[in-house]
Amino acid sequence: MKRTSIKNTRINGEVQKELSRIISQEVKDPRIHPMTSVTQVIVTPDLKECKAYISVLGDEQAQTDTLEGLKSASGYIRRELARSINLRNTPEITFCMDQSIEYAINMSKKIDDVMNRQHDVREEEE
């Protein structure tokens, strides 16, 4: 795995903060779910491309609608990003769905189920 420089890490954080602000406050597309958050941003070292991982608190339809809305508004989002962050190049943004939060919630429920079953078995033995 390639190590990212301190400068690139700082740029990733700044782009993530600005993307979150732009998506939540400035984009008016009704397809974008109000509970959309930018979980991670990875900008290439040459500042040409950017992968933005988003998480949507909602059902699968809300996730696909949000992704479509963000893809259609990517030109506007990129222009606003260029206005708010002074970079040599404004990266081309690719939006990806981040399933890690949903995965963590499902794993937590499974662990709770197993723990409850063990607790029930112990109570029956007594």
**Do the Cβ atoms of 36 and 56 come closer than 8 Å?**
yes
Give tens-digit pLDDT for 94-120.
Answer: 999 987 777 888 889 999 988 888 877
pLDDT at 126: 66
**Contact status, residue 110 vs residue 67, Cβ threshold 8 Å:** no
Alpha helices, H only, the chain: 6-21, 60-72, 74-84, 100-125
- Is the model's pTM score more than 0.85? no
